[in-house]
């Protein structure tokens, strides 16, 4: 079965086409365009306008690159939530239009669940992982238990990516700041004490962000601060992930989201996995960041398992929670 997916939860508008063969996902095309605010953070309406300007071309180009005609599509999937209202509505409107004009069924999917399923679909031996999902807006530790993907721990305030981006903006780095902070951290030598906030299984970053900015204002070296931010936040993320793995007895860990590109984060989680005798997986970067292929893939899984969605029921949900989804496609 062939599925096209339209992603539009935040900065990225993406269109991807995948082919489902058994439980394996073949990505035929996966194009993205990222909205970059000139100054400051993301402005939802501007991001949505950006997405509206690009989505039609991306759909066309994605089909061309995949070598697939609209007739050959089996379903049209889109990111139904969670995310920014105007962005979600733009992606959903494009998906509805494509679905109605091609007469192919429509499927709204949960963005966070898509991050985990694309790992299972594209990586050999990745069968039942705990997902550490670290992106701009989202930071969650997710695992499958009793018919649902459950959130075992998450941020209580901002996502880890936002934390990095906000710090970077404060000290004059260009967006996205995560990669720049990673580079600077390599030259950090001194560990500066930062708040390490874990409450139960949840994490908070805003106290650390304030303290890090304070260090910068008081003249500490940027390299040392970046190093300390990474060591502290990534240790907290790894700790919560390990506790989730122990609690639900999983032998695999999967990274997802843009921050998963970070080599230091990968290192820490990999070491933790090795020490537990567990496997460690990171998807290809193109399917790890926000993208249309993961949306297409989850739509295909849902459709094949019997889920159907009427256009009337395809309304977006900004607060669509991971554990609201009935996982009908796996045991
Ligand atoms: P969402 O939260 O809806 O998934 P998003 O667009 O913010 O949306 P991604 O595209 O998955 O999410 O990730 C973007 C984030 O990843 C940014 O905050 C960016 O700074 C961060 N990032 C990218 N590369 C790195 C890196 N090498 N190290 C740390 N952070 C990184
Ligand atoms: Fe994401």
Cβ–Cβ < 8 Å for 123, 295: no
Considering the chain, what is the average pLDDT of its residues? Answer: 96
Cα 11 to ligand 2 centre (Å): 10
Cα 91 to ligand 2 centre (Å): 14
Considering the chain, what percentage of its residues have pLDDT values greater than 70? 100
Give the model's pLDDT for residue 331.
Answer: 82
Q: Which atom of ligand 1 is nearest to the CA of 12?
A: 6
For the cut 80, the answer to whether the pLDDT of residue 202 exceeds it is yes
Average pLDDT over residues 219-234: 98
User: Pocket of ligand 1, candidates 43, 134, 161: which has the most ligand atoms within 8 Å of its Cβ, to mutate?
Assistant: 161
Going by pLDDT thresholds of 50, 70 and 90, the confidence category of residue 34 is: very high
What span, in angstroms and rounded, lies between the C-alpha atoms of 276 and 230? Answer: 22
What is the number of the ligand closest to the CA of 186?
1
For the cut 90, the answer to whether the pLDDT of residue 37 exceeds it is no
User: Within a 10 A sphere around the Cβ of 313, how many other Cβ atoms?
Assistant: 10
For the cut 90, the answer to whether the pLDDT of residue 257 exceeds it is yes
For the cut 80, the answer to whether the pLDDT of residue 117 exceeds it is yes
Any bridge partners for residue 301, and if so which?
A: none
Average pLDDT over residues 232-257: 97
Give the model's pLDDT for residue 329.
Answer: 97
For the cut 80, the answer to whether the pLDDT of residue 40 exceeds it is no
For the cut 80, the answer to whether the pLDDT of residue 39 exceeds it is no
Q: Is the CB of 137 under 6 A from ligand 1?
A: yes
Any bridge partners for residue 198, and if so which?
A: 203
Three-state SS letters, 168-179:
HHHCCCCCCCHH
Give the model's pLDDT for residue 111.
Answer: 97
Average pLDDT over residues 231-247: 98
Average pLDDT over residues 62-78: 98
Residues ≥6 apart with Cβ < 8 Å to 55: 6, 8, 13, 15, 90, 91, 94
For 102, 172, 179, 245, the CA distances from 176, given in Å and listed in that order, are 37, 11, 7, 30
Cβ–Cβ < 8 Å for 86, 44: yes
Q: What is the pLDDT of residues 151-193, one digit of tens each?
A: 999 999 999 999 999 999 999 999 889 999 999 999 999 999 9
Helix (H/G/I), strand (E/B), else coil: 261: helix
Give the model's pLDDT for residue 41.
Answer: 75
Cα torsion 208, 198, 204, 232: sign: positive
Any bridge partners for residue 75, and if so which?
A: 3
Give the model's pLDDT for residue 252.
Answer: 98
Helix (H) or strand (E) holding 224: helix 222-248
Say if pTM beats, i.e. exceeds, 0.85: yes
Residues ≥6 apart with Cβ < 8 Å to 327: 113, 144, 147, 148, 149
Q: Is the CB of 91 under 6 A from ligand 1?
A: no
Question: Beta strand 75-81 with 106-110: parallel, antiparallel or unpaired?
Answer: parallel
Give the model's pLDDT for residue 175.
Answer: 84
Cβ–Cβ < 8 Å for 73, 104: yes
Average pLDDT over residues 55-61: 98
Cβ–Cβ < 8 Å for 132, 244: no
Give the model's pLDDT for residue 123.
Answer: 97
Q: Which atom of ligand 1 is nearest to the CA of 160?
A: 18
Going by pLDDT thresholds of 50, 70 and 90, the confidence category of residue 213 is: very high
Give the model's pLDDT for residue 140.
Answer: 96
User: How far apart, in Å, do the first and last CA atoms of the chain sit?
Assistant: 21
């Amino acid at each position: 079965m062939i599925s096209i997916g339209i992603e539009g939860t935040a900065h990225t508008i993406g269109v991807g086409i995948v082919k489902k063969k058994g439980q394996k996902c073949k990505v035929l095309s996966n194009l993205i365009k990222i909205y970059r605010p000139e100054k400051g953070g993301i402005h939802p309406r501007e991001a949505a306008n950006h997405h509206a300007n690009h989505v039609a071309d991306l759909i066309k180009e994605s089909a061309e690159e995949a070598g697939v005609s609209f007739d050959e599509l089996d379903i049209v999937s889109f990111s139904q939530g969670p995310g920014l209202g105007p962005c979600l509505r733009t992606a959903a409107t494009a998906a509805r239009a494509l679905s109605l004009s091609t007469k192919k069924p429509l499927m709204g999917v949960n963005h966070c669940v898509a991050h985990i399923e694309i790992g299972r679909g594209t990586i050999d031996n990745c069968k039942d992982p705990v997902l550490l999902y670290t992106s701009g807006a989202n930071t969650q530790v997710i695992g499958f238990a009793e018919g649902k993907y459950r959130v075992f721990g998450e941020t209580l305030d901002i996502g880890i990516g936002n934390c990095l981006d906000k710090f970077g903006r404060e000290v004059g780095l260009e967006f996205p700041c995560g990669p720049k902070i990673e580079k600077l951290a390599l030259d950090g030598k001194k560990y500066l004490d930062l708040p390490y906030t874990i409450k139960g299984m949840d994490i908070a970053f805003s106290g650390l962000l304030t303290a890090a900015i304070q260090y910068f204002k008081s003249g500490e070296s940027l390299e040392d601060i970046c190093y300390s931010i990474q060591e502290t936040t990534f240790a907290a993320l790894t700790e919560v992930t390990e506790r989730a793995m122990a609690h639900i007895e999983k032998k695999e860990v999967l990274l997802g989201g843009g921050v998963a590109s970070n080599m230091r984060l990968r290192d820490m989680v990999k070491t933790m996995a090795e020490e537990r005798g567990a496997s460690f997986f990171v998807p290809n970067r193109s399917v790890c960041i926000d993208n249309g292929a993961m949306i297409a893939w989850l739509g295909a899984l849902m459709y094949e398992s019997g889920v159907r969605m009427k256009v009337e029921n395809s309304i977006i949900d900004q607060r669509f929670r991971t554990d609201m989804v009935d996982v009908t496609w796996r045991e």
